[in-house]
Structure 1
Amino acid sequence: MPAEVLSLRIVAVTMGILSLAALQAAGNDGYILNIYGNANLDGAIDEKDIEFLQNVIDGNIKATYLSDANVDGAIDRNDIERIIEIINGTEPEITVIDGVNVSVTIKKPVGRIIVEYLDNAQIVQMMGKTSKIVGVENSITKMEELFPEMSKLASVGPMTKDPDYEKILSLNPDLLLVFDEKMTSEKTKKLPGVSVLFAGFPFSDLMNADTSSYADGIRKIGYILDERETAEEYLDWYLDKIERLKMKTSRLDENQRPRVLFGSYPRADSKTFRTYSKIDVLAQEVSLAGGNNIAEDLSEFNVSFGDLRGNPLLYRIDLDSEWVIKQDPDYILLHYPYITYGGEIIPDLPNGYTIDDPSGLKIARENFMSRPEYANLKAVKSGNVYIFSGDLRNELTRGLIGSVYLSKILHPDIFPDLDPEAVHDEYLKNFLDLDYSLDEHGVFVYPPIVKGPGALAGVPDRYYDLVVEDAVPGSR
């Protein structure tokens, strides 16, 4: 709406007092867009915020924590003007609350961006703003298949322990999108003049996706990059896919839910399994796909996102192998990234978008299943041991695509028409605009799902004869 029309709207509001109940009802779905200017605490910045703020100024209602739209410490008509600018996309800067509740101000329009790891690279790619990226974290340069343009840009090296701050500053970025919240404070101090933002994508909360920090992060990037419609289009698709899974798996009785261990692939000499608490994507995939996590009764499992602020590694749980053997899960799901955050390559577990040949995962699975201490586990004896690509955990969909594959594996009977590869393909083509054939490329789940004679989901079709013997009958 043009600014002059909004100005007339303000005048109209001053002539009457809005119902407080009506204002409060705006945010009753539980989701709050954490951007200053969202005065009425609902899911968008719009005319309702102008009306709300005018009533605050008139003394009819109290201000909220997002009422100070221009973040100058005063609630006045300047904040109304800033809201009008945000609605029109003409604001000189915007202040958001990031994924760990820190206020970050970003100058607009954003001209130069540096991105870390898969999720941040994909959100900028999805928004059609790849041309604004001037530098990438080291891992992106090794993923040409997923980032055909970005992979050729200047690398700022690994951003995990000792970032090259001099190199970053030499690229003169306006915005750094970080993958890991642990070093956000340090990066902010070391990069004066650069807005450092942890959007909160790792906190996807698949079982409550519509009100999650993940959804909030997508919308905030939409405002920051002036692509709100793109953000909403993606979220509509994402939330619809999750709801379709929940609609079926939520009806399962307890005895219909297989007992599942989802953890990192253990080293050959390891006597422990690393699994993850309920706030991690992998644990949430088990819930969404209709499984029972064998770790869910442990106190370490039931941590909250807020607990991470004091201990950012609290989401990890190390389980003694004897305990796992005693639990005897129906399914064992193992995960590991081939290209890590920081750009390290794990050669023993080749998987993801840059790999076509599933032989490496086939061998890794056989090695795990041949360990004598696990020989009598139900999952091993029945062949229900799967390896999932780390890319499915760390890319922007944050567990959605992994959940689709897992739902088909755990419950092929209630998902007879579900094609995980089709959902995966929708994401790549419709949102990332990639010409990437899943029939020909990528190793994401091993053993793969057999769709029909010669057709697989999870690895390229040409490896059908190599892998079909490993496929579990229930997934066919």
Structure 2
Amino acid sequence: MATLPAIASDQKVTTTASEDDHILEIYGNANEDDTIDMRDITYTARIILWMEEPTDLADANHDGRITARDMTQIGLIILGRESELTLVDSAGRIVTVSMPVERMVAFTGEPVEAMRTLKAADKIVGVDRYTIANTAFFPEFSDYPGVGWIMAPDIEKAIYLNPDIAVLYAAYDYPEIQDGLEAVGVTVIRLDLFSQSTYTDEIRKLGYIFKKEEEASEFIDWQEGWMDTIESKIEGISDDERPDVYFEVWKPYYPAGTGNVWHESLVIAGGNNIFSDFTGYTAEISGEDVAFRNPEFIVRDPGWFASGGYDTDDPTAYKDVRDEIMGRPVLANVTAVENENVYMLASDLLDGPRAAAGIAYMAKWFHPVRCGDLEPQVIHQEYVTTFQGLDFDVESHGVFVYHPVQHPDGH
């Protein structure tokens, strides 16, 4: 301990992060920035010497005290030699993971996609049935052991695969899965991996769990670079310049409320959600509700109710959905319909890791002068090629958007 004053005084100290920054919620991140490094050892030393206020995350070994043992734990995390890693997952749960993690099961596709981004897909031992069936986007998982899916899990099969961890959504509770796995010693981590607002934090945590911090940072830098580009074009627009948008989710007259990625994305793209007063996920409304609010744009995510995405090149189903919207008598005098500003946009381009492409499409539609030089296909292709390792040309294959003039081929 005699060397601590020298350490604390000789090194430049980074103060704790502001509330606007991404705080990596892993115990050991003493100075509450977005990484664990030597500065956290220094900061912990200063806490021990009463030179800094204690932070919760400085308790690296999560024993309720901040001591030199926490400095040792931080050093082990930096070296990748820790035997345990304690973090706060997206459900606010404090979870301790036994390290190293070699086997993971996933009950949805989002963790599988994230693991592929991290170049850690070899750690996956079981996947959900929809990942197995999605041979266009997940070809290498077509013969993997199946664990059912999130709404109909095969917990017995998941346990048989002997995973170290399982990843479940944070936004939705699945106690049958969580309790069943935890009862036999499987660590459950709850991460959504679909929301633009939380994706950066979640993939960074996965990077630490699987010793893929550099891969996580590479993706984050790429995504934030594109988001900064989009936001710089939208920055400074007044509320009056934001067009009124009705975002329809999957079925007729189900609007995007504020509690989902659709609202989040259209606002970033410079639109005004006409149903922003609805704070839920979605719920049925009437055509008269839409007509009364008179949107300037209508964007529809066809979801599973119309064939689109990576596994088809035929935009007919998207065209049919758009034609149905254009033909609704109650919407005949709505500005979006009169001006032909009705667009289809696939869910594939709205989830967390691919959201930059979907947001770029909407920004071009809503603000053609400001955002006309954005290239959503370039963003999409970079993601598919660089981070997913797929040989898939998004300019000639797949159906992701539709408009009879701007996107007649679905891309």
Structure 2 length normalisation: TM-score? 0.92
Query: What is the CA–CA distance in structure 2 between the aligned matches of 1:33 and 1:194, rounded to whole Å?
Result: 23
CA RMSD of superposed structures (Å): 2.4
Please show how residues 210-359 of structure 1 align to structure 2 within 5 Å. Answer: 213-267=198-252, 272-277=253-258, 279-296=259-276, 298=277, 300-301=278-279, 314-338=280-304, 346=305, 349-359=306-316
Would you say 1:416 and 2:372 are equivalent positions? Answer: yes
CA shift, 1:130, in A, is 1.5
CA shift, 1:19, in A, is 10
Aligned AA (1:204): Q
Work out which of the residue numbers 320, 323, 328 in structure 2 matches 1:366: 323
CA shift, 1:24, in A, is 6.5
CA shift, 1:443, in A, is 0.7
Residue of structure 2 in register with 1:177 after alignment: 167
- Cα distance change, pair 204–448 in 1 and its aligned pair in 2 (3 A): farther
Work out which of the residue numbers 54, 77, 81 in structure 2 matches 1:90: 81
Query: What is the CA–CA distance in structure 1 between the aligned matches of 2:154 and 2:109, rounded to whole Å?
Result: 19
Residue of structure 1 in register with 2:31 after alignment: 40
Query: What is the CA–CA distance in structure 2 between the aligned matches of 1:316 and 1:367, rounded to whole Å?
Result: 20
Is the Cα–Cα contact under 8 Å of residues 438 and 459 in structure 1 kept in the other structure? Answer: no
Would you say 1:163 and 2:129 are equivalent positions? Answer: no
Query: What is the CA–CA distance in structure 2 between the aligned matches of 1:436 and 1:182, rounded to whole Å?
Result: 32
Secondary structure of the 1:387 match is strand
Query: What is the CA–CA distance in structure 2 between the aligned matches of 1:63 and 1:365, rounded to whole Å?
Result: 56
- Cα distance change, pair 326–165 in 1 and its aligned pair in 2 (3 A): same
- Cα distance change, pair 182–141 in 1 and its aligned pair in 2 (3 A): same
Query: What is the CA–CA distance in structure 2 between the aligned matches of 1:16 and 1:92, rounded to whole Å?
Result: 26
CA shift, 1:399, in A, is 2.4
CA shift, 1:102, in A, is 0.6
Would you say 1:459 and 2:383 are equivalent positions? Answer: no
CA shift, 1:317, in A, is 4.9
- Cα distance change, pair 152–54 in 1 and its aligned pair in 2 (3 A): same
Query: What is the CA–CA distance in structure 2 between the aligned matches of 1:407 and 1:327, rounded to whole Å?
Result: 21
For structure 2, the residue ranges without an aligned partner over 5 or more in a row are none
Query: What is the CA–CA distance in structure 1 between the aligned matches of 2:180 and 2:409, rounded to whole Å?
Result: 42
* Percent identity over paired residues: 32
Aligned AA (1:358): P
- Which whole-Å deviations, capped at 9, do the CAs of 1:37-56 have from their partners, x for residues lacking one? 11121111111111122233
- Which whole-Å deviations, capped at 9, do the CAs of 1:279-312 have from their partners, x for residues lacking one? 422112222212122123x2x34xxxxxxxxxxx
Residue of structure 2 in register with 1:140 after alignment: 131
Secondary structure of the 2:397 match is coil
Query: What is the CA–CA distance in structure 1 between the aligned matches of 2:174 and 2:59, rounded to whole Å?
Result: 24
CA shift, 1:384, in A, is 1.2
- Cα distance change, pair 11–134 in 1 and its aligned pair in 2 (3 A): farther
Is the Cα–Cα contact under 8 Å of residues 184 and 198 in structure 1 kept in the other structure? Answer: no
- Cα distance change, pair 11–413 in 1 and its aligned pair in 2 (3 A): farther
- Which whole-Å deviations, capped at 9, do the CAs of 1:155-174 have from their partners, x for residues lacking one? 111212x4221111011111
Query: What is the CA–CA distance in structure 1 between the aligned matches of 2:404 and 2:115, rounded to whole Å?
Result: 30
- Cα distance change, pair 58–253 in 1 and its aligned pair in 2 (3 A): closer
Query: What is the CA–CA distance in structure 2 between the aligned matches of 1:151 and 1:184, rounded to whole Å?
Result: 25
- Cα distance change, pair 457–136 in 1 and its aligned pair in 2 (3 A): farther
Query: What is the CA–CA distance in structure 2 between the aligned matches of 1:458 and 1:38, rounded to whole Å?
Result: 48
CA shift, 1:79, in A, is 1.5
Query: What is the CA–CA distance in structure 2 between the aligned matches of 1:403 and 1:273, rounded to whole Å?
Result: 20
Residue of structure 1 in register with 2:43 after alignment: 52
Is the Cα–Cα contact under 8 Å of residues 356 and 379 in structure 2 kept in the other structure? Answer: no
Is the Cα–Cα contact under 8 Å of residues 201 and 214 in structure 1 kept in the other structure? Answer: yes
Residue of structure 2 in register with 1:426 after alignment: 382
Query: What is the CA–CA distance in structure 2 between the aligned matches of 1:115 and 1:457, rounded to whole Å?
Result: 36
- Cα distance change, pair 425–367 in 1 and its aligned pair in 2 (3 A): same
- Which whole-Å deviations, capped at 9, do the CAs of 1:183-217 have from their partners, x for residues lacking one? 25543321031121122433423xxxxxxx32111
- Cα distance change, pair 441–17 in 1 and its aligned pair in 2 (3 A): closer
Aligned AA (2:273): N
Query: What is the CA–CA distance in structure 1 between the aligned matches of 2:155 and 2:192, rounded to whole Å?
Result: 22
CA shift, 1:65, in A, is 1.1
Q: Which moved more, 1:363-372 or 1:324-333?
A: 363-372
Query: What is the CA–CA distance in structure 2 between the aligned matches of 1:55 and 1:71, rounded to whole Å?
Result: 18
Would you say 1:154 and 2:145 are equivalent positions? Answer: yes
Secondary structure of the 1:316 match is coil
Secondary structure of the 1:266 match is coil
